[in-house]
A and B are shown apart, each in its own frame.
Chain A
Amino acid sequence: MKNRLLEVENLHVSFHTREGEVQAVRGVSLHIDHGETVGIVGESGSGKSVTAKAILSLIAPPGEITHGDIRFAGESLRGIPERKWRTIRGNRIAMVFQDPMTSLNPVKRVGDHLTEVIRRHRGLGRREALAEAVEMLRLVGIPEPELRVRQYPHELSGGMRQRVMIAMALSCRPELLIADEPTTALDVTIQAQILDLLKELKAKTSAAIALITHDLGVVAQVCSRVIVMYGGMVMEEGPVEEIFYRPKHPYTQGLLRSLPKRGGSSRERLSPIEGSPPDLRSAPKGCPFRDRCPHAMAKCGTMPPMVEVGEGHRAMCWLNDTDAQSDDHAGSGTEGGEGNGG
């Protein structure tokens, strides 16, 4: 437990809407170590972005953190005053959002975006801050940064704007960078450049990166550890090789199997996961994946435990619970043993 940078324990986030309480995050526990790159994978509604916002205390009404603890560098972040948050948010924990088109102020120059952050958090003067801003733009691979600081966001392409966002996030040398779908709005060739940049930054700086995405290809490319979320919960977590080559949760297995095979000829039939994600307005009891799971059994009506299935590899499924398997076989209609993933 020595290396933990961030620890989230049993986090619950709810949104109070007219249709009732929507439990977007239902008991998420995860950790991020110093200097590692963790992929948080899930589809829309899985709770991945809400978890990220909760870490930065950016949940606004009607949303609310109803339960759980978040510790950063050993200190709890729950309930600390907004004044103290300002020394953490943007400074020690920084975030990059999905849409580079709307996250920059259109009437401010690129340089002003950067110097605002640098002057506020690092207390530099105007001139030093501008020099630092130029350096940051150079670091993220923007050509002619001296000219770019004078330009407005609309004069930059999408990829360049996302680089500016990353430069802003990194300008205070954060210990943790949370990137929420940083490449989803970009073209594949630009995406590849941004991912290369993240890989490079991993080598150059000591920041830990939490990369939130729905794209398993992106995860395979940059992450060393993966957390798979579904229905507001963590389904499986483990080292990237374990998750891709030895997935233990039926959801992870299904997700990997539903992708078109590489090298396989075209027109080979895909194997989708049937059904659709659960409606969190009336969150199902027990495993959230139960309705779509090919291995569903009677026992899945109660919440499965998180079981250690390998070195640092855990999955939340009754299939991996050896005690449960031996006494539940008789009662299950459709159990199918270990699925083979990939």
Chain B
Amino acid sequence: MADEARPLVEVRGLKKHFVKGRDIWGRPTSVLRAVDGVSFHIRKGETFGLVGESGSGKSTVGRCILRLYDYTDGEVRFDGQDLSRLGDKQLKPFRRRIQSIFQDPYSSLNPGMNVLELIGEPMNIHGLYPGKEERAEVIAGLLEKVGLKRDHLYRYPHEFSGGQRQRISIARALSVRPEFVICDEPISALDVSVQAQVVNMLEDLQDEFGLTYLFIAHDLAMVRHISDRIGVMYRGRLVEVADSDELYDNPLHPYTQALLSAIPVPDPRAEIRRIRYEPHDWTGEPAELREVSPGHFVALS
């Protein structure tokens, strides 16, 4: 289903450095290289998974694509257009086409707004469905798409469970008919028994609306399940990119091997047989990504 011709999203040499300290003249004295030269592309209609431990820079990449951060260097192209050069006004149409879902459904919804207002807010900003009745109808339809009911329209976030709140966040993201959705840990705050519901729903919505996803998560089993291709980040750099089955069956970078072998498997007999790689086996210099087999890139010197 992926369109080979042109990638929808292209990230080239992305760098984001945070200044941690300045001297009395305001010159930076220490810098955190959160993202330090990351390049990848996402094809239309596919799901690209981004994994790595906390502090590896995976969420920062997502935020740079959204232009929530102004990045230090590099470029992000969406549908051929370089977003880094656009001003706020020119960026606005892209802000509609690129939406995001965040981890915590408790803090990402305004508690003073009801569901109608929450989902209607992005529509207001982008001037969609101005008619009151038409809008209520569209929002009710969206609610049904995400597995909620029409009579939830006038309720407030505190009346919903975590799983339901995440469904509201998803409806809110979809309300402006985006093409690309950045999902930053969308299921990690949810109960185990509810996670699979939300993942299934994200997949159904992708098929129905032809969405492209960037799926950022640390639950590696779930990332494999949902992603077509996966990038592994380590200390601000991509160390390996491959199709998800290829990556899990044939990981080449020592860090990927350590990460994958550390996933606990819900199967006691397999647990006994599991071979673990230690992450400190690898102390290489950062290297450029090289293609070692079709579509499988690894950064090894």
A interface list, Cβ under 8 A from B: 43-45, 187-192, 195-196, 214-221, 240-241, 244, 254-256, 258-260, 262, 265-274, 276-277, 292
What is the number of contacts between chain A and chain B, taking CB atoms within 8 Å?
120
Task: Give a binary string over B211-248; 1 marks a CB under 8 Å from any A CB, 0 the rest.
Answer: 00000001011101111100000000000000011000
Q: Is the CB of B224 within 8 A of A260?
A: yes
Q: B29: CB under 8 A from chain A?
A: no
**How distant is the Cα of A254 from the Cα of B191 in the complex, in angstroms?**
13
**How distant is the Cα of A258 from the Cα of B196 in the complex, in angstroms?**
6
* Residues of chain B with a CB closer than 8 A to A221's CB: 264-265, 268, 271
**How distant is the Cα of A269 from the Cα of B207 in the complex, in angstroms?**
13
* Residues of chain B with a CB closer than 8 A to A216's CB: 192, 266
Could you list some 25 contacts between A and B, CB below 8 A? A43-B193, A189-B53, A189-B262, A192-B276, A214-B192, A217-B264, A217-B266, A220-B264, A220-B266, A220-B268, A221-B264, A241-B268, A244-B267, A256-B266, A258-B193, A259-B221, A260-B221, A260-B225, A262-B270, A266-B224, A266-B226, A267-B228, A270-B225, A271-B196, A273-B197
Q: With A191-B262, A221-B264, A255-B192 in contact, is A269–B54 under 8 Å at CB?
A: no
Q: Is the CB of A258 within 8 A of B225?
A: no
- With CB as the reference atom, state the residue of chain A lying closest to B201: A272
B195, chain A: closest CB distance, angstroms: 7
B interface, by DSSP: helix, strand, loop or mixed?
helix
Q: Is the CB of A220 within 8 A of B267?
A: yes
- With CB as the reference atom, state the residue of chain B lying closest to A44: B191
Q: B210: CB under 8 A from chain A?
A: no
**How distant is the Cα of A52 from the Cα of B142 in the complex, in angstroms?**
42
B83, chain A: closest CB distance, angstroms: 29
Task: Give a binary string over B52-89; 1 marks a CB under 8 Å from any A CB, 0 the rest.
Answer: 01100000000000000000000000000000000000
Q: With A188-B220, A270-B196, A272-B197 in contact, is A215–B264 under 8 Å at CB?
A: yes
* Residues of chain B with a CB closer than 8 A to A220's CB: 264-268, 270-271
Q: B289: CB under 8 A from chain A?
A: no
Q: Is the CB of B200 within 8 A of A270?
A: yes
* Residues of chain B with a CB closer than 8 A to A254's CB: 193
B121, chain A: closest CB distance, angstroms: 25
Within 160-199 of B, Cβ neighbours of A (below 8 Å) are at: 161, 163-164, 191-197, 199
Q: Is the CB of A272 within 8 A of B264?
A: no
B194: which of A189, A190, A260, A276 is its contact (CB, 8 Å)? A276
A267: which of B196, B203, B269 is its contact (CB, 8 Å)? B203
B78, chain A: closest CB distance, angstroms: 25
* Residues of chain B with a CB closer than 8 A to A266's CB: 224-228, 244-245
Q: Is the CB of B218 within 8 A of A187?
A: yes
B119, chain A: closest CB distance, angstroms: 20
A134, chain B: closest CB distance, angstroms: 23
Q: Is the CB of A276 within 8 A of B267?
A: no
* Residues of chain A with a CB closer than 8 A to B161's CB: 276-277
Q: Is the CB of B262 within 8 A of A188?
A: yes
**How distant is the Cα of A215 from the Cα of B221 in the complex, in angstroms?**
12
Q: B91: CB under 8 A from chain A?
A: no
Q: With A220-B271, A258-B196 in contact, is A267–B225 under 8 Å at CB?
A: yes
Q: Among the interface residues B195, B222, B258, which one has the most CB atoms of the partner chain A within 10 A?
A: B195
